[in-house]
Amino acid sequence: MAVMVTFLNLIIIFSVVSTGKSLSLNYYEKSCHDLEYIVLKTVTDATARDKTVPAALLRMHFHDCFVRGCDASVLLNSKGKNKAEKDGPPNISLHAFYVIDEAKKALEAKCPGVVSCADILALAARDAVYLSGGPKWNVPKGRKDGRTSKASETRQLPAPTFNISQLQQSFSQRALSVEDLVALSGGHTLGFSHCSSFQNRIQNFNATHDVDPSLHQSFAAKLKSICPLKNKAKNAGTTMDPSATNFDNTYYKLILQQKGLFSSDQALLDSPKTKQLVSKFAASQKAFFDAFAKSMIKMSSINGGQEVRKDCRKIN
């Protein structure tokens, strides 16, 4: 299944409808002046109740942008025979959609029919990073919400099993550079992963090795104890890094110690350019924060929507 998904990912050509030429920092200045305050308050309140919210919102935004651009298609519910993106295999574990709903409800009360769900998600992802101790950046606004959402298209998402050439191809199809790839991968400093995303590295890795030889032995033993072949606990898994609610550069330090969780994390050492960037970000949190903010602005400007939804879960 993983091999098939990987292959399909490589043959799907992602077309960027627009690279955000219509976006601007002051898009809502006259029409919804309190937008950023309302979104920040909503994300802050939700994070106070549930510390997993920031990681969920950041992942949701990535998964939105990598399929049809940042058009909030990931928020749409399945309807009738159409299975939406949120029900595609890589998105089953997405959560905290209610945070976007709450922000939208508050914004509809203040400035009805004005702010797109895509813009709310882009702002919420930025706030999630900032509230976790990460960088803050100005989010260009003016995205429109898409009217199409298909679970089958989630095959376009980069998989945790990807090697470096597959990762580079996936990002370059979205006009994202090698530096964007390494910087945005640092989003893995937040959150939790189920065993299924890294099981390939700790059991039956290949014909020669049971365990991925690029995985540190003690770390592999720890992962095996969390994810045994039999009698695995329901929802078993591990945090992406030991400081999973803090946005920091620990992720890169762990990769250099052969303790990256996914194959796709460890793969960042498999080309000279990406390896050099991993070392740079491991040595300097400031360099990582600056690069991450720049790459997030670039990624979140891939847009392809058509409308401003009244309800983020369904088209108008």
Q: Please report, for the domain that includes residue 90, its CATH number.
A: 1.10.520.10
Q: Does 21 score more than 90 pLDDT?
A: no
The response to whether 85 counts as a known ligand-binding position is yes
Asked if residue 197 and residue 102 are part of one domain, the reply reads no
Do 203 and 101 sit in the same domain of this protein? no
Is residue 200 a contact partner of residue 243, using CB atoms and an 8 Å limit? no
114 among annotated binding-site residues: no
Q: How confident is the model at residue 18 (pLDDT cuts 50, 70, 90)?
A: very low
Q: In the chain, how many domains are there?
A: 2
* DSSP label of 194: E
In a domain, 281, yes or no: yes
The larger pLDDT score, comparing residue 205 to residue 60, is at: 60
**Model-level pTM?**
0.91
Mean pLDDT value across residues 68-82: 96
**Active-site residue list:** 63
- The contacts found for 126-130 with CB under 8 angstroms, 24 or more apart, are 126/296, 127/39, 127/40, 127/43, 127/44, 127/57, 128/43, 128/47, 128/53, 128/54, 128/55, 128/57, 128/58, 128/190, 129/54, 129/58, 129/190, 129/247, 129/292, 129/296
Same domain, yes or no: 104 and 226: no
Q: Is 69 annotated as a binding residue?
A: yes
The pLDDT > 90 percentage for the chain reads 84
Flag whether 29 is marked binding.
no
Q: 189 a known binding residue?
A: yes
In this structure, what token pair is assigned to residue 222? 């720890």
Lowest mean pLDDT among 12-16, 131-135, 289-293: 12-16
Residue 127 is assigned to a ligand binding site: no
CATH number at residue 289: 1.10.420.10
Domain that holds residue 100: 34-156
* 118 and 172, same domain (yes or no): no
pLDDT score of 16 more than 80: no
Average pLDDT, the chain: 91
Q: Is 71 annotated as a binding residue?
A: yes
Render pLDDT for 227-259 as a digit per residue (tens, 0 to 9): 988 776 778 899 888 888 999 999 999 999 999
Task: Decide if 26 is inside a domain.
Answer: no
How far apart CA 256 and CA 275 sit, in angstroms, is: 9
pLDDT of residue 207: 87
1 located within any domain: no
Question: CB-based contacts of 171: which residues, under 8 Å, 6+ apart?
Answer: 158, 177, 178, 180, 181, 184
